[in-house]
């Protein structure tokens, strides 16, 4: 449908804006905030659009595979997504990836795959058909568990990543100010995505409850 085409085009557009513009140069060489914006786009925005672009017939076909049914189970998909976020933001892993191009691409692929699994049970009815109330709770849990990372980066009294401490000075932004801006950008962008989607399914859930009460 035109909606699926639009979602897929949106995913490709965000992907190119994330990895084929000056934002990528800023992320790889100068600023932590640019890298965290990249991470949020790869782990949340692009997967959201990609899953929304999958037509029902393709989702039905993929749901026949046991591995797909396992990985898209909400109690599996959410921990995998959270685990990928936490793992790659450990300072040793983060800085090693920045120093090795192939490992950085693996990090991006991990975000994309985990994000796809995260959004699948929300936007697709196969293999798991969740009620709107469960989807709202699932999204709320994802936001609650993921948000402390951005807030932590914004509140730390000293820079966490040596790579950006030693990066060339650009625009007069100190490493600590860069980290604080990165944490705020990450927290705000996650809040927008998850709160918007949570609101959609919570409103649907409440509407269903009103209809049930009326009956």
- The answer to whether the CB of 121 falls within 8 A of the CB of 138 is yes
Largest CA distance in the chain: 66
What pLDDT score does 178 carry? 92
Position 140 pLDDT exceeds 90:
yes
Q: Look at residues 70, 171, 57 and name the one whose alpha carbon lies nearest to residue 128.
A: 70
pTM recorded for the entire structure: 0.92
pLDDT band at 84 (very low <50, low <70, confident <90, very high): very high
Q: What is the mean pLDDT of residues 182-207?
A: 93
d(CA 215, CA 213): 5
d(CA 191, CA 148): 11
Q: Look at residues 121, 114, 102, 8 and name the one whose alpha carbon lies nearest to residue 62.
A: 121
Position 120 pLDDT exceeds 90:
yes
What pLDDT score does 171 carry? 81
Name the phi and psi angles at 89, rounded to 5. Answer: -95, 0
Helix and strand tally (H, E) in the chain? 12, 0
pLDDT digits (tens, 9 = 90+) for 16-26: 999 999 999 99
Q: Residues of the chain with pLDDT > 70: what percent?
A: 100
DSSP state of 156: -
pLDDT band at 211 (very low <50, low <70, confident <90, very high): confident
Give the number of other CB atoms < 10 A from CB of residue 35: 26
Exposed/middle/buried for 14, CB within 10 Å: 0-12, 13-18, 19+? middle
Q: What is the mean pLDDT of residues 84-97?
A: 92
DSSP state of 174: -
What pLDDT score does 212 carry? 82
Name the phi and psi angles at 31, rounded to 5. Answer: -130, 135
d(CA 175, CA 152): 15
pLDDT band at 147 (very low <50, low <70, confident <90, very high): confident
d(CA 60, CA 129): 12
């Amino acid at each position: 449908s035109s909606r699926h085409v639009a979602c897929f085009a949106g995913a490709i557009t965000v992907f190119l804006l994330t990895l084929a513009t000056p934002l990528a140069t800023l992320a790889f060489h100068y600023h932590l905030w640019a890298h965290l914006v990249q991470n949020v786009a790869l782990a949340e925005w692009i997967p959201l659009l990609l899953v929304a672009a999958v037509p029902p017939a393709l989702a039905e076909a993929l749901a026949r595979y046991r591995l797909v049914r396992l990985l898209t189970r909400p109690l599996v998909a959410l921990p995998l997504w959270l685990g990928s976020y936490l793992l790659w933001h450990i300072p040793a892993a983060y800085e090693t990836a920045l120093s090795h191009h192939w490992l950085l691409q693996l990090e991006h692929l991990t975000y994309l795959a985990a994000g796809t699994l995260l959004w699948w049970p929300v936007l697709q009815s196969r293999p798991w058909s969740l009620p709107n109330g469960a989807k709202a709770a699932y999204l709320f849990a994802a936001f609650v568990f993921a948000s402390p990372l951005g807030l932590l980066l914004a509140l730390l009294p000293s820079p966490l990543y040596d790579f950006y401490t030693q990066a060339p000075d650009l625009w007069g932004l100190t490493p600590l100010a860069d980290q604080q801006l990165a944490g705020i950008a990450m927290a705000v962008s996650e809040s927008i995505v998850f709160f918007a989607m949570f609101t959609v399914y919570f409103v649907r859930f409440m509407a269903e409850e009103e209809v049930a009460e009326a009956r």
